[in-house]
Chains A and B, each alone.
Chain A
Amino acid sequence: MEIEKRVVELTDRLNYIKDIFGGRENANIALMQARLSEFAAREADAAPGEKAQMVRQIEDLYEFLEKKLDEELVPMDMVRIVRHPGRVSLKDILENVYDNYTEIGGQDEYSIDPSMLIARAYITRRRGDKVINQPVMVIGQEKGHGQEFRNGGSVKPWGNAKALQYMKVAETERIPIHTYVFTPGAFPVEDFPGAAQQIARNLYEMAGLRVPIVSVISEGGSGGAEAIGLSDMRLMFSRGYYSVISPEGAAAIEAGIRQGQRVVPELIAECARRLNITAADNLRMGYIDKVLEEPPLGARPHHYDFFKNLRQEVIRATDQVVLGSAGFKLFRALVASRRKDGDAESMFVRWTLDDAAADRLVWRRYCKYRRMGETAYRDGRPSGARFVSRAQSLLWSGYSFIRYDFLGKYTKNLAKTAGDLEAELRLVVDRLTAPLRRGRDKNAPVTCDPEKSRMLTELSQPEQGACLEDFGWRYVSPKAAEDRAVSCPEAKTYGCPDLWAPDLYGDFAGVCVNCGHHFPMEYQWVMGNVFDPESVVEFDGDIEAGNPLNYPGFEEKLEAAKKKTGRKSGCVTFEAKIEGVKIACAVLYSAFRGGSVGAAEGEKFIRALAMARRRHFPFLAYVHGTAGIRIQESLNGLIQMPRVTMAVRRYIEAGGLYLVLYDTNSYAGPVASFLGCSPYQFAVRSANIGFAGPGVIKETTGIDIPPDYHRAHNALARGHIQGIWDRREIRKNLKQVLLTIGGRNLYYR
């Protein structure tokens, strides 16, 4: 009986190996198969003792060959490992790493989203003779071992909202958060709270959480991973992957295939390699802090040593984070960073932080992410120019501190006292002069300047130019130079007549005069017509998009984009004025690689935010179009999601007004992070806003979405954006927003 059991185990091990090698020919696997078949053939005639010996020999062989096969793993094999139903899941970790836990808000399929698992757990530690239970909030995606209702760990927006809710609970309770990332990506539906918008909200809140966060990544699929992955210490399983897109998705884009067609497996494997998705790659690039070694061919629930090691590592990581910010630590911080494997529990560290330590923690988190990916873009400026720019920044910081923080505080107090005194005085004077006012005739006619009165009461005359319409666009699209007619896509519904291109793209600003449909225009239209004339001053133009992973063929594509647009990246940053109000602006425009965001674009965005913060400018993110994160940069692009969101949070917390205006098509990563986190998001009419395009939604969820699914009006109806503007009224509306939302200084709290 025992031998049969062991043979079944061996068969399972062999099947697992075959699964993760994806049917690839391999001499070692063939040998393993042969030895098992040989045993099956000889089993009937062998004596029990002989059988046991044969099984032992095969087991030894399997152990040896598994180690050998482990060295042969290619990135695509690791993708298959993390997707295998036999892979460790969060429940296994809760059972084996923590001493006790209570699952919150879910019992298998009875949960708002069974793919998001939340538990209050504790780890028991000793301090001398005392036993102390240290509570943690464990949050992570649960794939289940083949449980269909878990949706493979693909979390719906409401699952991420639940995760955020309990992160805030952990903050209130001042307990650390351990997040476990087991997701192929977020479930791309727009229903409230919306896939993109909820991830953005999570990132924004996590950026400022005042408790230690430790994340452990097994399967880090793009935005879904970021929703809970922003942390102070990022650990990764050695056989896990962390990527901006699934290898299948990258291969589909690379091959340029349409929905429903299949990509050849070789290209998928090649894309997995090119994307640098393994733990070793991510450690090299600096996007994770440590790799946790797994048993050969990946951890499965029976690998108890792995769980023991994981327990030590999460304790050590939490200790390090706490001691890094804690005030009183003496030797413990030094010891915590040097502790060898296995003795994490030899020293006690309290996991609660006081207010000052929590401030330091949040600041260190910001600095950690700010440093990431700094070598992934090209800075073409000579060192002298860089020095001058840095010096300028410092000067502005100093000026800002003196003017707003130091003098500003006293001026404000003085003004407040003066205001109060004035109000008191007015009241006294008002009361004293009341008897004099009583004698006045309230109905006496008001005298008015006769010229002004005539102008206000008489009708306008044509000779005064009242009937001449002056569109007055300073920038006119080159499309207006074509002599052709253009059909409105809504013509079938509203019966719109064809429009002559010079009228449409010139005078009408790309807006159908019949139905108001907005045709896409160049980003230069907004730059040229919204801001005051000659007020646009660009900066950081030398920061250049690069090819940090040497992605084959991408260098040429980048060069072509640079040549086509005459710019070095997909982001333009500048300061400008709107009716005299100074404003900082970052534009993501679609002409440069679809408006995708990579390291250069992220860096420019962050620098523009920093400039706006230093100079107390309001900030406008004008998203002419963005297709998402630039996949050829892989993690260098993906990390811009938390990175820029943290910069946005820093700006908003310093008192800035952060506005987002979407035009044409805005999708994926940027919307799910630094754009979606803005409390004031507006869209130009006919814009499309969403997380994933229709093709990806169909492929991932199997749902056919209506053609107007991503339209701005639907985004407004779902509560994702705050208003829709006519293109011709952007300037007027921006001024209005600055007046009403910007507060008494027009732009800055």
Chain B
Amino acid sequence: MIDVKALLETIKAAPYEEIVVTAPHTGVVTFAGVESGTRVVGASGVYDEKPGTLLARLNRENNEKSLFSEVKGVVGKVHRELEGKFVEAGQPLMVIRHFLSKDEVIAAILQKVLYLFCAPERAKYYFIPSVDKKVKASGPRSVTVKPGMELFIVSRMKRERPLVYEGPEGIIYAVYFQHDQNVDQGAPLVGVCPGSQTDLIQDVVNRVRTDWEEAE
């Protein structure tokens, strides 16, 4: 069993992710005025159509390509010594310290403690009627799932077939699909966790929601 509290403490001790920006291919690097401590932003806009902060330019065969920041954060170390030099693909150029947001922390915790049961194919998914009734009446956490249990109905092009749950025994902590929308292959359907940990997880998630201070 995973110690959720210890996990949270670990995240709290280092509430950021260090992202190493590497050269995507060979070329001559020119840094774009970013120094250690510069704040950068990731792509924005409804469709991520506005690129993030320009970090560097990489020139290969007279083809200049711009490297943009993909996350929001603060620039840590910049490998200035590479300015104007030819670099190989994968060579680190700088480090961006990205501070985790509330949602990212919750996602990190849930990813560790939940078992995600994923869609085997693109289709619409429904709970079988008995489970559906329970979910609607008392919420998903009232449902205990066991391996081999018939849990879903897969509906594709008006043809329906049952889907059996495979995974550890536990209760459904989160439901990630909607009954009238298609779910892509590999997208999670439900998150399952051991029954004893439900309250603990909920407690930690609530604490993150209320207490977590998002650093700039």
Chain A residues near B (Cβ < 8 Å): 482-487, 498, 500, 704, 706-707
| B60 lies within 8 A of A498 (CB) | yes
Interface hits, B31-61 → A, CB 8 Å: 45-47, 49, 60-61
A498–B58 alpha-carbon span in the complex (Å): 13
Interface residue B196 (Cβ < 8 Å from any Cβ of A)? no
Other contacts beyond A498-B63, A704-B46, A706-B47: 4, CB < 8 A: A484-B62, A484-B63, A485-B61, A704-B45
Residue of A nearest to B48 (CB): A707
Residue of A nearest to B60 (CB): A485
A482–B64 alpha-carbon span in the complex (Å): 14
Interface residue B85 (Cβ < 8 Å from any Cβ of A)? no
Q: Name B63's contact: one of A486, A704, A706, A707 (CB within 8 Å).
A: A486
Which residues of A lie under 8 Å from residue B46 when comparing CB positions?
704, 706
Interface residue B12 (Cβ < 8 Å from any Cβ of A)? no
**Chain B residues with a Cβ closer than 8 Å to the other chain, count:** 9
Q: Name B47's contact: one of A485, A486, A704 (CB within 8 Å).
A: A704
Which residues of B lie under 8 Å from residue A707 when comparing CB positions?
47, 49
| A500 lies within 8 A of B61 (CB) | yes
Q: List 16 A-B contacts (CB under 8 A).
A: A482-B62, A483-B61, A484-B62, A484-B63, A485-B61, A485-B62, A485-B63, A486-B63, A487-B63, A487-B65, A500-B61, A706-B46, A706-B47, A706-B49, A707-B47, A707-B49
The A interface is mostly helix, strand or loop, or mixed, namely loop
Closest approach, in angstroms, between the C-beta of A485 and any C-beta of chain B?
4
A270–B66 alpha-carbon span in the complex (Å): 40
Which residues of B lie under 8 Å from residue A487 when comparing CB positions?
63, 65
Which residues of B lie under 8 Å from residue A485 when comparing CB positions?
60-63
A482–B62 alpha-carbon span in the complex (Å): 9
Which residues of A lie under 8 Å from residue B47 when comparing CB positions?
704, 706-707
Which residues of A lie under 8 Å from residue B62 when comparing CB positions?
482-485
Residue of A nearest to B61 (CB): A485
Which residues of A lie under 8 Å from residue B63 when comparing CB positions?
484-487, 498
Question: Which residue of A485, A486, A498 has the most chain B CB atoms within 10 A of its CB atom?
Answer: A485
Which residues of B lie under 8 Å from residue A498 when comparing CB positions?
60-61, 63
Residue of A nearest to B65 (CB): A487
Closest approach, in angstroms, between the C-beta of A337 and any C-beta of chain B?
57
Residue of B nearest to A499 (CB): B63
A739–B2 alpha-carbon span in the complex (Å): 71
Closest approach, in angstroms, between the C-beta of A487 and any C-beta of chain B?
6
Closest approach, in angstroms, between the C-beta of A719 and any C-beta of chain B?
23
**Digit string of B63-103 for contact with A (CB within 8 Å is 1, else 0)?**
10100000000000000000000000000000000000000
Q: Which 9 A-B pairs have the closest CB atoms?
A: A484-B62, A485-B61, A485-B63, A704-B46, A707-B49, A706-B47, A484-B63, A707-B47, A484-B61
A498–B63 alpha-carbon span in the complex (Å): 9
Which residues of B lie under 8 Å from residue A704 when comparing CB positions?
45-47
Closest approach, in angstroms, between the C-beta of B128 and any C-beta of chain A?
36
Interface hits, B113-154 → A, CB 8 Å: none
A500–B62 alpha-carbon span in the complex (Å): 10
A707–B61 alpha-carbon span in the complex (Å): 29
A413–B45 alpha-carbon span in the complex (Å): 65
Closest approach, in angstroms, between the C-beta of B57 and any C-beta of chain A?
12
Residue of B nearest to A709 (CB): B47
A309–B62 alpha-carbon span in the complex (Å): 70
